[in-house]
Structure 1
């Protein structure tokens, strides 16, 4: 057993971990980067990039099917599953290669392989070969897809998104359990690529939407295209090897208690991800934990209590998206290097996007959050995209945008939307929110014609109208119309 001494130890070499390592080194400290799994971030290997590659193929197929509505009639559509997945895997490997190139630039003596666990504050053990003594530690261990044990017993055809991007061909059918970002994006993409897809949702949620009107409009638009079973739970999963190539028999139970058994080539578990904090020996680090076993931490410094331990990325279970992981890692690494003189870092306006159709985005404070923090003190403006000019031109005229503003100050607080070009509208609204613009100032900005952004102006005008009046009621139960 060897012993190594360092000033900063970073556990995890994903997006957050690499950001933390670089920040610590930029702070003039010696740092070690510890990894127990393969190098390459979740985003590059099994997340944002390969999923967008699959979605891009699906959009191409969908464009061919939609062309006759414009008077354009292409020839018969043929989807070559092996070619689709070959491009997905090839480009995925290219993105991973960029990450690995970055890892290669890190000095070999700064990289350690093995599973780390705390022996005490500032003291780690890697497997059975190394003891690390560090002045400060950054936990950046990421997260893992959740698969209930009883589902795993149904065999290898119960998968997570991690396995999708290793397929060499498209399957005949997939049941997707969960209508969060991962489930919805992959489910719709596979459907558009000719796979028989059914999505199951235990409740009525759609991605991260909490505004009931936007959620209703989004669910209706998606259900027009997809087989989505809301208010439906999975009662049982069983391997069905008698079928050609093996299948999974899925039994679902709807809201009325009715049971239904169907067979699928795969069942994709997309019910969430769990932070990788188990097995770290956090009890030995003497950290206060929440009810999920995650260290309590300051969201502005990423410091766990008053300790020399910091946490970043998916491991803290706050905002599991790449830009947040990078920001949190940078803040954690910077403060680990300057400990005990920590300081707040830049936390940007929350922005989450689902690349479905319609696209879905939540910007700044959500409806649900405002019902708690600004009960009776915020107004709502809205626009439907059904008759919005540019949206109708593109035949993407479905969805709704709702924007929120603060009574008195007139400050823009956030938005929830499902509609065309939401990835771009979301960025504009996030920038306005971070700049703390008022609704009046936003309406002073230029709007070209004809563009989808004119829908934003319509919603802001509606919001300005409501802000000019006194609030009529207090939002106590998050019902629409407040």
Structure 2
């Protein structure tokens, strides 16, 4: 039986003799899942400088989707008259929504921390880690003091954090990011969002759905420019109909408004001025590496700061690994979880390494309309000179789309001349559910015909939009 763990508060402080561990994990998002039964009877250090549980649980995927759902309910009620149903929204109890969400999430985070504090084999250090050499760390503890560690193996899983443009940092005006905006006490009457990526698109939907006037300042000519061109163009058209969207525009100056406390005036590159009762900065996320002192350990990084790893999750330094947003091409929780499963195996099977397989990574944007995508975009195929067939199937042309009176949804399938699926892109109601049926066939190398005709599709369910798109690339005449 192994000894019980110790917490950071009980760990020696300011002791210059390093404590040695079999494994040290920096970050408690997906890195927290690395403590498998393989480590029974061994010593594992877990280091966390922020909220236990990482981005997804506390400020990312989970709480944002819990806000998206009530926004969907409110929006559906406001649009119900098109179906002969007269409904309205009497009010939105923001604090009730917020407290319901974090009343569930916060205990999970706290419970995870308590479990690691008293769980087997683990010593938890609440503080910020920095490398002092290969597999050598110093942790500045949150409650004062520091502790030095060495480990046979180290995993860097520190995630990412919001990017703050210099203009915002230096303006001295109040602002929020995705890390803070979900905790506000009251809904603002007007929200100014800077950014045109998936975080901006999701929060625009959340706040507009709950009755806030939303202005989106987007530097490019389209929102979600990284997606397939048809998706980006058609989503931008839908966004303009819902929100005040300023395309091809940048914020040139910010100042506190003279009208009221907390208000922000933004001067835009098109010469206009926009006022917001709350400023939300959604200009991307970057890997959290600044305080790690990676060069001291000789750990290589990409130009954008990400930790460089090979297909097995190894850095260039023997015994040091990395996973998740700090190293991945994808800032997606399901990717980080996949990488964590691979690294968990590789940590204890050094002679039987498994590679990370990120050939077909699905992703979704929970905005309005919802978007989901996997594989190559049409633009990427064109740039690579790859031959393909393409079919765009409208939601409006399948029976469930008729039921919804849908006017915006579509499914786009890109397939190689031999029928193998190269990319699938969906925009519309429950796009993430529709798309999922395409992910496994892509991984298995099935053709569009095998997927479309090799199974029965429930009629008249919404996935028929994918079935018909697949059939469209099999037989373009139909």
TM-score, length-normalised on structure 1? Answer: 0.88
1:160 to partner: Cα distance: 0.1
2:12 maps to none
Instruction: Tell me if 1:435 matches 2:451.
Output: no
The one-character-per-residue Cα deviations of 1:346-382 (angstroms, maximum 9, x if unpaired) are: 5573011011121101113333443455x23222222
1:45 maps to 58
2:261 maps to 245
Report the CA distance shift for 1:346/1:214 in structure 2 as closer, same or farther (over 3 A). Answer: closer
> Which residues of structure 1 form unaligned runs of 5+?
469-482
Report the CA distance shift for 1:384/1:282 in structure 2 as closer, same or farther (over 3 A). Answer: same
Instruction: Tell me if 1:320 matches 2:331.
Output: yes
Alignment of 1:396-435 (within 5 A): 396-408=406-418, 410-435=419-444
CA distance in 1, matches of 2:406, 2:119: 46
Which of these residues, 268, 271, 274, is aligned with residue 286 of structure 2? Answer: 274
1:296 to partner: Cα distance: 1.9
Does the aligned pair in 1 maintain the 2:213–2:243 contact within 8 Å?
Answer: no
Q: Secondary structure at the match of 1:353?
A: strand
Alignment of 1:79-478 (within 5 A): 79-97=92-110, 99-100=112-113, 102-103=115-116, 106-107=119-120, 109-127=122-140, 129-155=146-172, 157-207=174-224, 209-240=226-257, 242-253=258-269, 258-298=270-310, 300-305=311-316, 307-339=318-350, 342-345=353-356, 347=358, 349-373=360-384, 375-408=385-418, 410-444=419-453, 445-465=455-475
Instruction: Tell me if 1:22 matches 2:32.
Output: no
Does the aligned pair in 2 maintain the 1:136–1:339 contact within 8 Å?
Answer: no
1:99 to partner: Cα distance: 4.0
Identify which range, 199-208 or 163-172, moves more after superposition: 199-208
> Which residues of structure 2 form unaligned runs of 5+?
1-14
Does the aligned pair in 2 maintain the 1:138–1:336 contact within 8 Å?
Answer: no
Does the aligned pair in 1 maintain the 2:229–2:377 contact within 8 Å?
Answer: no
CA distance in 2, matches of 1:98, 1:406: 48
Which of these residues, 59, 71, 74, is aligned with residue 84 of structure 2? Answer: 71
CA distance in 1, matches of 2:122, 2:429: 49
1:443 to partner: Cα distance: 1.3
1:474 maps to none
Q: Secondary structure at the match of 1:449?
A: coil
1:476 maps to none
1:97 to partner: Cα distance: 4.9
Q: Secondary structure at the match of 1:158?
A: coil
1:426 to partner: Cα distance: 1.6
1:435 to partner: Cα distance: 2.3
Does the aligned pair in 1 maintain the 2:52–2:110 contact within 8 Å?
Answer: no
CA distance in 2, matches of 1:330, 1:215: 33
CA distance in 2, matches of 1:21, 1:348: 27
2:3 maps to none
Which of these residues, 64, 73, 83, is aligned with residue 60 of structure 1? Answer: 73
Larger relative contact order, structure 1 or 2 (CA cutoff 8 Å, min sep 6): 1
CA distance in 2, matches of 1:209, 1:178: 13
Which of these residues, 34, 48, 54, is aligned with residue 47 of structure 2? Answer: 34
Identify which range, 387-396 or 211-220, moves more after superposition: 387-396
Does the aligned pair in 2 maintain the 1:398–1:420 contact within 8 Å?
Answer: no
CA distance in 1, matches of 2:367, 2:255: 30
- RMSD of the alignment, in Å? 2.5
Does the aligned pair in 2 maintain the 1:443–1:460 contact within 8 Å?
Answer: yes
CA distance in 2, matches of 1:346, 1:448: 31
Report the CA distance shift for 1:29/1:435 in structure 2 as closer, same or farther (over 3 A). Answer: farther
Does the aligned pair in 2 maintain the 1:86–1:168 contact within 8 Å?
Answer: no
